Structure 1
Amino acid sequence: MRGVFVFPSIEQAAVVALLDHLSLGQRHPWLVDGCLYVELTTEDDCLYRDWEPEAVRGLSRACGQRPSWAFQIDVSGRVDGTAEVRRLTLTLLAQGGIAMDDYSDHPWTAEEIANDVAVDGLCFFDFRTHYERTKLTQ
């Protein structure tokens, strides 16, 4: 699974309502676009368990505080999922917030995602470039 954490600026209940609308009858996880599995995760659920300390610090700086909850979007390696991840992430960040993907420690804004901004040679959810870099260093 490849994943993204989304920290929207809107209230958690508003995101839940949106996901309920996008994933009729499916919750825990929500299934969006037939390939995205979305879960609400909190610090109590070990939100930052596998995170590098620098990534948590960067997120906290970008958000102005360490968020206590996020929505985790997972997509199977069996499908590309790039368009679906981008679309849902941009929807969740429409009123502000930050997203973090599996491939960089950069806190991504909706504007950066929409404009395909590259940071350290990677765009948002850029698993292809990340894979190529990893393959070259092995």
Structure 2
Amino acid sequence: MRSVFVFPDLERAAVVALLDRLSPDQRHPWLVYGCLYPDLTGEDEHLYTDWEPAAVRALSDACGGRPSWAVHVDVSGRIDGTAEVRRLTSALIGRGGVAMDDYSDHVWTAEQIAADVTVDGLRFFDFRGHYERNRLTR
């Protein structure tokens, strides 16, 4: 599975309500758009355990401190998932917040995601570009 971490500028209850609307029949994790598995995770559940220190610093700098919780979205490897990830991320951070993916240490805003901005040669959730970059450097 591929992952995205979303840090909405919303109360947890509002995020739960949004996810409940998108997935009324399943929770923890929710099933959204048939291929995304979002769930809430906090520092007490080892949110930053596998993160590189540079990624944690970038997130902390962007947020003015280290967020204590996130929406961790697993993406099925059976499908591309890019459109679905962008749609869910936009719904979660459209009014504020940031997201990070498995492919860079960049902290993405909703505006950057919507504009398909490239940072260090990669777009948000650019698993293909990341794969190609790694294939060429081997």
Question: In structure 1, what is the equivalent of residue 30 of structure 2?
Answer: 30
Give the 4+ runs in structure 1 shifted more than 4 A.
Answer: none
Question: In structure 2, what is the equivalent of residue 64 of structure 1?
Answer: 64
Does 2:100 match 1:86? Answer: no
| TM-score, normalised with respect to structure 2 | 0.99
Distance in 1 between residues matched to 2:63 and 2:27, nearest whole Å: 27
Describe the SS at the equivalent of 2:134: helix
Amino acid at match of 1:130: H
How far off is 1:137 after superposition? Answer: 1.5
Question: In structure 2, what is the equivalent of residue 19 of structure 1?
Answer: 19
How far off is 1:121 after superposition? Answer: 0.6
- The count of aligned residue pairs is 138
Distance in 2 between residues matched to 1:80 and 1:118, nearest whole Å: 19
In structure 2, the gaps of 5 or more residues are none
Does 2:92 match 1:120? Answer: no
Describe the SS at the equivalent of 2:47: coil
In structure 1, the gaps of 5 or more residues are none
Distance in 1 between residues matched to 2:67 and 2:39, nearest whole Å: 16
Question: CA offsets, 1:1-27, max 9 Å, x none?
Answer: 011000000111100000001001100
Amino acid at match of 1:126: D
Question: In structure 2, what is the equivalent of residue 46 of structure 1?
Answer: 46
Amino acid at match of 1:53: P
Distance in 1 between residues matched to 2:17 and 2:24, nearest whole Å: 11
Q: CA RMSD in A?
A: 0.5
Distance in 2 between residues matched to 1:40 and 1:135, nearest whole Å: 33
Distance in 2 between residues matched to 1:57 and 1:67, nearest whole Å: 11
Distance in 2 between residues matched to 1:67 and 1:126, nearest whole Å: 24
| TM-score, normalised with respect to structure 1 | 0.99
How far off is 1:94 after superposition? Answer: 1.3
- Percent identity (aligned): 73
Distance in 1 between residues matched to 2:99 and 2:83, nearest whole Å: 15
